[in-house]
C-alpha cells in the first residue's frame, strides 16, 4: 500500500510529565501552585475501585474540591458524559481550575470529555469526530493507574453513542492532557489478566501504526520504541516486575503519542464492534479480535500468542460463533463505520474487502 497523508501537520503532545515510583505524592503541590495562579476548586475523577484507597487519601482535597467516582466496568457513553456535565452545572460547579483523571482509560477519557464540554457547551455527541472542539478545555492532569490504553497521551476521548452505535472520540488538540503523572507503583495491585488485557493495547497501537498506510517519521519513532518496550515486558518471565511496570507505563504513553499522529488499524474497529454489540471491555476485546488476525498481521499474530502463552493469561474464545443475524449485522455496522483505521489497514477500498459476509466470517473466528 502507498503511504497516505495523515493530514496532521501540527502535533500537540502532553506539555509536562512527572515520572517515577511515588510521584503521585507530588500532585498536591502541583494543585496548590495551580490554585495560587488560577483560583478555583479542583474536580477529581477517580476509578470507583480506588474508593477508600491510600491513593485517594493522598489527594489532600480542599473543602471546595469535588470528587466523582467513575464506574470503570462500562466504557464512557455520550449520555453518561452529558449526565455528569448536567449535574455539575445544576450544582453550580462549572468552573474548576483543574480536572484530575485518576484511573484507567475510562476514567481518563471521562475527565477529558467533561473538560471539553464545560468550556464548549453542547452535548457530547456533537463533538464525536475530528477537530470539532473549538475552545480549549479545562486544564487537566492524568494519573494512570493501569497501563496500555494511551488515554494519558492521546488527543481523543472515546465514547459510545448508544443511540447511533457509534464508538468514536473527541479527536482534538484541546483534548490532550496538560500534565501526566506516571507512577508505576500504582499498577502493582492490578489483577494479572487485567494487567495484560489493558497493557497489550499499547502493543496493538504501535504495531497497527507501523503496519498501516498513515505513516510519518515521528509516529514511526514512537511506535518502534513502544514495541521494543512491550516485547521486553510481555516476553519476559514476569511482566509485573517493578522494572516492567515502569517500562509498560512508558510504552503506553508512546503508543498514545503514536496514534495521535497516525491511526490504529484493523484490530480496533473489530474491537469496537465487540464493545458496542456485546459490551466487551476494550482491552479484552482487542485480545479476542486477535484470534482472527493471522491473515492480516501474521508476524504480530504469532508474537501476540507467544506473549499470551508466556504470561499464562486466558483469552476467551467462541464468543461470536452462535450469534443471531441481527447481532452479526450490528457487528458489521459498528465495525465498518471506522473508516480511517480501516483505510490505514486495508486501503481506501476497504469496503470491497470487508463485505458483510466477510466481516461475519471474521467475527465467527472469535
Asked if 306 and 160 sit in the same domain, the reply is: no
Print the domain residue range for 342.
193-364
Confidence check: pLDDT of 128 > 90: yes
Angle of helix 339-346 versus helix 267-278 axis, rounded to 10:
140
- Hey, what's the torsion of the CAs at 16, 22, 28, 31, to 10 degrees? 10
- Report the distance separating Cα 210 and Cα 262, nearest Å: 9
Strand ranges of the sheet holding 140-144, from the earlier edge strand across to the other edge = 16-19, 179-182, 140-144, 98-103, 42-47, 66-70
- Report the distance separating Cα 66 and Cα 111, nearest Å: 13
List the grid coordinates of 167: 464508538
Q: Look at the chain and report how many structural domains it folds into.
A: 2
- Report the distance separating Cα 49 and Cα 71, nearest Å: 8
Asked if 135 and 172 sit in the same domain, the reply is: yes
What mean pLDDT do residues 141-164 have? Answer: 94
pLDDT for residue 7:
67
Within a domain: 4: no
- Report the distance separating Cα 205 and Cα 94, nearest Å: 35
How many CA atoms does the CB half-sphere of 42 hold within 13 Å? 24
Within a domain: 280: yes
Range scoring the smallest mean pLDDT among 35-39, 240-244, 306-310: 35-39
- Report the distance separating Cα 352 and Cα 334, nearest Å: 17
Residue 200 sits in a domain whose CATH number is: 1.20.1090.10
Within a domain: 22: yes
pLDDT for residue 14:
95
- Report the distance separating Cα 104 and Cα 359, nearest Å: 30
pLDDT for residue 2:
64
pLDDT for residue 11:
77
What mean pLDDT do residues 337-347 have? Answer: 95
Asked if 201 and 170 sit in the same domain, the reply is: no
Within a domain: 26: yes
Asked if 135 and 198 sit in the same domain, the reply is: no
Asked if 100 and 222 sit in the same domain, the reply is: no
- Report the distance separating Cα 137 and Cα 135, nearest Å: 6
Rg (CA), the chain: 20
- Report the distance separating Cα 162 and Cα 140, nearest Å: 27
List the grid coordinates of 12: 500537540
C-alpha 355: how far from chain center: 28
Start-to-end CA span in the chain (Å): 27
Asked if 128 and 214 sit in the same domain, the reply is: no
Within a domain: 287: yes
Asked if 28 and 146 sit in the same domain, the reply is: yes
pLDDT for residue 8:
63
Asked if 258 and 344 sit in the same domain, the reply is: yes
Asked if 293 and 151 sit in the same domain, the reply is: no
Residue 133 sits in a domain whose CATH number is: 3.40.50.1970
- Hey, what's the torsion of the CAs at 141, 146, 147, 153, to 10 degrees? -20
Within a domain: 6: no
pLDDT for residue 164:
83
Asked if 50 and 149 sit in the same domain, the reply is: yes
pLDDT for residue 113:
98
Asked if 183 and 197 sit in the same domain, the reply is: no
What mean pLDDT do residues 336-347 have? Answer: 95
DSSP three-state, residue 282: helix
Q: Over the stretch 232-277, which tens digit does the pLDDT of each residue have?
A: 999 999 999 999 999 999 999 999 999 988 999 999 999 999 999 9
pLDDT for residue 153:
97
pLDDT classification of 94: cutoffs 50, 70, 90:
confident
- Report the distance separating Cα 44 and Cα 33, nearest Å: 16
Within a domain: 10: no
Give, in degrees to the nearest 5, the angle at Cα 139 between 220 and 31. Answer: 115
Angle of helix 282-289 versus helix 267-278 axis, rounded to 10:
120
Residue among 250, 281, 260, 243 nearest 74 (CA)? 281
Asked if 218 and 353 sit in the same domain, the reply is: yes
Confidence check: pLDDT of 1 > 70: no
pLDDT for residue 348:
93
Q: What DSSP character marks residue 182? A: E
Within a domain: 8: no
pLDDT for residue 284:
98
Q: State the DSSP string of 304-343.
A: HHHHHHHHT------TTTT--HHHHHHHHHHHHT-HHHHH
Confidence check: pLDDT of 230 > 80: yes
**End residue of a domain, out of 189, 223, 238:** 189
**End residue of a domain, out of 189, 215, 239:** 189
Q: Over the stretch 155-205, which tens digit does the pLDDT of each residue have?
A: 999 999 978 878 889 999 999 999 999 999 999 999 999 999 999 999 999
Q: What percent of the chain has pLDDT over 90?
A: 90
Find the helix or strand (DSSP H, E) in which 208 lies: helix 201-211
E strands, the chain, in order: 16-19, 42-47, 66-70, 98-103, 129-130, 140-144, 158-161, 166-171, 179-182
| Average pLDDT score over the chain | 95
Residue among 205, 134, 202 nearest 172 (CA)? 134
Q: What percent of the chain has pLDDT over 70?
A: 98
**End residue of a domain, out of 171, 189, 207:** 189
Amino acid at each position: 500500500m502507498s503511504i497516505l497523508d495523515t493530514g496532521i501537520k501540527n502535533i500537540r503532545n502532553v506539555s509536562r510529565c512527572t515520572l517515577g515510583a511515588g510521584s503521585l505524592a507530588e500532585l498536591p503541590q502541583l494543585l496548590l501552585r495551580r490554585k495560587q495562579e488560577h483560583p478555583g476548586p479542583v474536580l477529581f475523577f477517580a476509578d470507583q475501585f480506588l474508593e477508600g484507597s491510600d491513593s485517594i487519601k493522598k489527594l489532600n482535597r480542599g473543602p471546595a474540591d469535588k470528587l466523582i467516582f467513575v464506574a470503570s466496568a462500562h466504557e464512557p457513553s455520550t449520555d453518561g458524559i452529558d449526565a455528569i456535565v448536567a449535574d455539575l452545572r445544576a450544582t453550580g460547579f462549572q468552573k474548576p481550575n483543574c480536572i484530575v483523571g485518576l484511573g484507567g482509560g475510562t476514567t481518563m477519557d471521562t475527565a477529558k470529555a467533561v473538560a471539553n464540554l464545560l468550556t464548549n457547551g453542547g452535548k457530547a455527541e456533537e463533538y464525536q469526530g475530528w477537530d470539532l472542539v473549538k475552545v480549549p478545555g479545562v486544564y487537566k492532569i492524568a494519573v494512570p493507574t493501569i497501563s496500555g490504553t494511551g488515554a494519558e497521551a492521546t488527543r481523543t476521548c472515546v465514547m459510545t453513542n448508544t443511540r447511533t452505535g457509534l464508538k468514536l472520540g473527541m479527536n482534538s488538540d484541546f483534548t490532550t492532557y496538560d500534565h501526566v503523572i506516571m507512577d508505576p507503583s500504582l499498577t502493582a495491585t492490578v489483577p494479572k489478566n487485567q494487567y495484560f488485557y489493558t497493557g497489550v493495547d499499547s502493543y496493538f497501537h504501535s504495531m497497527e501504526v507501523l503496519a498501516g498506510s498513515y505513516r510519518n517519521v515521528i509516529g514511526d519513532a514512537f511506535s518502534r520504541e513502544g514495541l521494543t518496550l512491550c516485547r521486553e515486558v510481555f516476553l519476559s518471565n514476569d511482566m509485573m516486575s517493578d522494572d516492567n511496570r515502569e517500562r509498560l507505563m512508558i510504552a503506553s504513553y508512546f503508543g498514545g503519542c503514536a496514534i495521535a499522529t497516525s491511526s490504529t488499524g484493523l484490530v480496533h474497529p473489530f474491537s469496537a464492534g465487540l464493545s458496542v454489540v456485546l459490551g466487551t471491555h476494550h482491552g479484552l476485546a482487542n485480545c479476542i479480535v486477535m484470534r482472527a488476525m493471522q491473515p492480516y498481521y501474521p508476524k504480530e499474530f504469532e508474537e501476540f500468542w507467544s506473549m499470551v502463552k508466556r504470561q499464562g493469561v486466558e483469552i476467551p474464545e467462541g464468543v461470536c460463533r452462535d450469534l443471531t443475524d441481527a447481532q452479526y449485522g450490528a457487528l458489521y455496522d459498528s465495525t465498518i463505520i471506522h473508516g480511517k483505521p480501516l483505510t490505514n489497514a486495508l486501503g481506501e477500498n476497504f469496503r470491497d474487502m470487508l463485505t458483510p459476509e466477510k466481516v461475519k466470517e471474521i467475527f465467527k473466528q472469535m
